[in-house]
Amino acid sequence: MDKPKFLIFDFVPQILQKSDWYNVEELCNGFTVTNIGDTIVKVNEQIFYPGVPGVSLGDSRTYGGNEMEIYKGIIKVAFQIPIGANPQIELIQKVYIKSQFE
């Protein structure tokens, strides 16, 4: 099959509230992490500081691939201890739609 003129993608948002290893979606091209809680967190060993509750979001970072690149790693989330009252990050994965490649 020829490469499509336009690549079709979607977003898969998640709110994560515990330290763990998370698998990425199939055909994930990139992802964005935003600390929306009150606790310092490491994601893949990079530190994300919380914002000011009710005023601003915490640190945010995007990890993106080039066209047709797929991320096959995992996402490691580790909240700092002691954990605050509202530890959470927003993870948004950008995924290609599989049917366009079939």
pLDDT in tens, 43-88: 999 999 999 988 899 999 999 989 889 999 999 999 999 989 999 9
| CA-based nearest residue to 16, from 8, 28, 7, 24 | 24
Domains of the chain: 9-96 (2.60.120)
pLDDT at position 53, please?
Answer: 80
User: 4-23, pLDDT tens digit by residue?
Assistant: 678 999 999 999 999 999 99
3-state secondary structure of 11: strand
